[in-house]
Chain A
Amino acid sequence: MRILVCIKQVPDSEGFITINESNGWIDFEGSYRMNRFDEFALEEALRIGEKMPVDSIDALSVGLPRAESTIRKALEMGASRGIHIITEESSDMSAFETASLIASFAREERYDLILAGVMAEDDMQSQVGPMIAEMLGYPSASSVIYEEIDPERRTLFAEREIEAGKRECLEMKLPVLLTIQSGINRPRYPALSNVLRARNQEITTIPSQSLQKPVKRERMVALRYPEALSKGIVLEGNEGEKAGSLLQILHEKSII
């Protein structure tokens, strides 16, 4: 059993995002980390590895040189190999381009299972996983909240989350691609032994130019801030004054 987990480095939601001066992309002040949904995906791969013999759990990221720290985090959690497809431009990389790069790498590797997150927290597209599956001809299921592999029959049973907590149950033949929904497990903290091992471990790097260059199918025309749809009133003053105003408003509206 060979498993690939796709991990994306995303800006931490606590950071500060603005549209850059040329209006062409964003500026970000803050730290970068692993996409939360990908942490669940990696944890799921590690748990599969604890249940059955697994040859390799590879963690792959497409991104700028700084994405290396996220790949290292995956090694610390317990991935066996880190792969970095290095890109040079930081601006809008389409899901189709990302998926094409990952698929052209994964095609040769013949993974039995590919896991991705249900969406990336930054671009929120929910596209890359299913696109990879289509390019490789694997069956796929997105938003998976439970999975069970039958290694003898080479089948995978999955439950995907649909509206209001209902679940769609399906069975697929390996090789399979799943996109993982949060809550499927509780991601682990790296064990010290893995942290030490990860520190010096080699990461396979692949310049994106060496892979087949995909062509963009959509382009970004403009970036803007959301209109303040809100008729919202911003409470002013210090903390105590705001607390007072809030209570007064709720009292006037007979809520309190």
Chain B
Amino acid sequence: MKGTMETRQIAVIAEHRNGVLTPGTLETLSFARELESLLNLKTNIVIAGKSIEGLTYDIAGMTGMDVIGIEGENLDLYNCESYLAALEKPLEELDPAYICTPHSAMGYDLAPRLAVRLKASCITAVEKIGKKGKSVLFSRSQWNGKIILEKEPVVKRAVLTVLSGSWPEPDGRPEKTGEVTIITIAAETKNSRTIEIREAVRTGFDLAKAEVIVSAGKGLGKEENLPLIYKLSELFPKSAVGASRAACDAGWLDYGHQIGITGKTVSPKLYVACGISGSTQHIAGMKGSQMVVAINTDPAAAIFSVADYCIVEDLATFIPCVIEKYHKLFSSHKESE
């Protein structure tokens, strides 16, 4: 009988672009491995696409996990309606206790609807698995990363999305290869159709080459404070100015400056975050920095948990103070008074 603890499964819905699994999917596989080992479950990978047979076998070899490939004409590009139609039946049949997907643009588009459709619990942006007695708990951040909630599904199925950067990509190749099942479906989509994917607009602005990035957040307060950020960045050779999305939304900086999951990913020698709270979406774009300095008025700001040097100050007065001290200490040529 399906549904007993011993036979229940984990399903990972794989996301792929241009014939390869996304990094988020690989991280989700590591998440599934951890869940497997806690509960003695078995992971199946479910992947949908137009002609994905080759990829399906590759994945079975690479992971050693069983793979269900769902092929359909309208599955060429991700579309919520066509994916739901394609996944519903195979998932019902597999009856997994946990359905996992990366917390990506695909994941958070699909997961909530899938959960409603499959009468499942839905926990998004999971960053840690815990165990308390018999319960398996999933941790996620709330309130700008200031507090973490541990949640437990109370129905027999759960759809989970896995926050990027929380699990490593799996390494090593397994000895055995997984089993492959290919299903062809003729799911028609009546109400929604994905037309194309447009590449990002090139801004000609090169944050990737900068050795030092000074970034402004909403804490800048007003556009008139922007010169402070530029002046601070000018203290460093090979520097550039970055921004949080909220600073771009305010119109203070162009979106070409945006760092984060929907902006640029950077890994400079030094990253200075000024008035940035440290949302997971921002941190995803700068956590590879060699050194992080954060300036924020709020000692509980999440940015401090990824900073090497934490400065609890008002940027509007602190930055001028740094610039002034710099000139006193290091400038050989005194500015004319």
Report which A residues bind B (CB closer than 8 A).
11, 13-14, 16-17, 19, 26, 36, 92, 95-96, 99, 121-131, 133-135, 138-143, 159-173, 181-183, 186, 216-226, 228-235, 239-240, 242-244, 246-247, 249-251, 253, 255-256
In the bound complex, do residue B306 and residue A247 qualify as a contact, i.e. CB atoms below 8 Å apart?
A: no
Partner of B155, one of A13, A36, A217: A217
B230 at the interface (CB under 8 A from A): no
Report the separation of the CA atoms of residues A123 and B330 in the bound assembly, to the nearest whole angstrom. 46
In the bound complex, do residue B80 and residue A124 qualify as a contact, i.e. CB atoms below 8 Å apart?
A: no
Q: Mark B103-116, 1 if CB is under 8 A from A, else 0.
A: 01110111111011
Least CB separation from B137: chain A residue: A221
In the bound complex, do residue B143 and residue A122 qualify as a contact, i.e. CB atoms below 8 Å apart?
A: yes
Report the separation of the CA atoms of residues A182 and B148 in the bound assembly, to the nearest whole angstrom. 24
In the bound complex, do residue B198 and residue A166 qualify as a contact, i.e. CB atoms below 8 Å apart?
A: yes
Among B90-98, B173-181, B263-271, the stretch that binds chain A is B263-271
A230 in contact with B270 given A122-B143, A124-B142 (CB within 8 Å)? no
In the bound complex, do residue A224 and residue B150 qualify as a contact, i.e. CB atoms below 8 Å apart?
A: yes
Least CB separation from A130: chain B residue: B112
In the bound complex, do residue A169 and residue B277 qualify as a contact, i.e. CB atoms below 8 Å apart?
A: no
In the bound complex, do residue A221 and residue B117 qualify as a contact, i.e. CB atoms below 8 Å apart?
A: no
24 contacts between A and B (CB under 8 A): A124-B141, A126-B125, A141-B80, A165-B201, A165-B255, A168-B194, A182-B245, A183-B255, A218-B154, A220-B150, A221-B151, A222-B137, A222-B149, A223-B147, A223-B148, A229-B305, A232-B306, A232-B310, A234-B311, A243-B325, A247-B322, A249-B309, A250-B270, A255-B270
Q: How far is the CB of A175 from chain B (nearest CB, A)?
A: 9
Least CB separation from B261: chain A residue: A163
In the bound complex, do residue A230 and residue B305 qualify as a contact, i.e. CB atoms below 8 Å apart?
A: yes
Partner of B318, one of A126, A131, A242: A242
Q: How far is the CB of A23 from chain B (nearest CB, A)?
A: 11
In the bound complex, do residue A220 and residue B151 qualify as a contact, i.e. CB atoms below 8 Å apart?
A: yes
Report the separation of the CA atoms of residues A125 and B201 in the bound assembly, to the nearest whole angstrom. 28
B63 at the interface (CB under 8 A from A): no
B246 at the interface (CB under 8 A from A): yes
Q: How many chain B residues touch A (Cβ–Cβ < 8 Å)?
A: 98
Report the separation of the CA atoms of residues A58 and B248 in the bound assembly, to the nearest whole angstrom. 28
Contacts of A235 on B, CB cut-off 8 Å? Answer: 309-311
Q: How many A-B residue pairs have CB under 8 A?
A: 261
In the bound complex, do residue A139 and residue B150 qualify as a contact, i.e. CB atoms below 8 Å apart?
A: no
Q: How far is the CB of A69 from chain B (nearest CB, A)?
A: 20
Partner of A232, one of B115, B309, B317, B326: B309
Contacts of A141 on B, CB cut-off 8 Å? Answer: 80, 109, 192
In the bound complex, do residue A170 and residue B141 qualify as a contact, i.e. CB atoms below 8 Å apart?
A: no
Q: How far is the CB of B185 from chain A (nearest CB, A)?
A: 19
Least CB separation from B262: chain A residue: A161
In the bound complex, do residue A173 and residue B305 qualify as a contact, i.e. CB atoms below 8 Å apart?
A: no
A164 in contact with B264 given A95-B112, A247-B322 (CB within 8 Å)? yes
A256 in contact with B236 given A139-B81, A218-B154, A230-B308 (CB within 8 Å)? yes
Q: Most B CB atoms within 10 A — which of A14, A138, A221, A235?
A: A221
B89 at the interface (CB under 8 A from A): no
B304 at the interface (CB under 8 A from A): yes
B79 at the interface (CB under 8 A from A): yes
Report the separation of the CA atoms of residues A127 and B140 in the bound assembly, to the nearest whole angstrom. 14
Contacts of A124 on B, CB cut-off 8 Å? Answer: 125, 140-142, 280
Report the separation of the CA atoms of residues A249 and B270 in the bound assembly, to the nearest whole angstrom. 12
In the bound complex, do residue B236 and residue A255 qualify as a contact, i.e. CB atoms below 8 Å apart?
A: yes
Report the separation of the CA atoms of residues A246 and B309 in the bound assembly, to the nearest whole angstrom. 8
In the bound complex, do residue B116 and residue A243 qualify as a contact, i.e. CB atoms below 8 Å apart?
A: no
In the bound complex, do residue B199 and residue A170 qualify as a contact, i.e. CB atoms below 8 Å apart?
A: no
Q: Which 4 A-B pairs have the closest CB atoms?
A: A165-B200, A217-B121, A162-B105, A139-B192
B182 at the interface (CB under 8 A from A): no
In the bound complex, do residue B245 and residue A183 qualify as a contact, i.e. CB atoms below 8 Å apart?
A: yes
Contacts of B269 on A, CB cut-off 8 Å? Answer: 255
A239 in contact with B317 given A131-B112, A217-B155, A246-B322 (CB within 8 Å)? yes
Q: Most A CB atoms within 10 A — which of B142, B153, B201, B305?
A: B142
Interface residues of B in 296-337 (CB under 8 A from A): 298, 300, 302, 304-313, 317-318, 321-322, 324-326, 329-330
Contacts of A233 on B, CB cut-off 8 Å? Answer: 308-310
Partner of B306, one of A129, A166, A229: A229
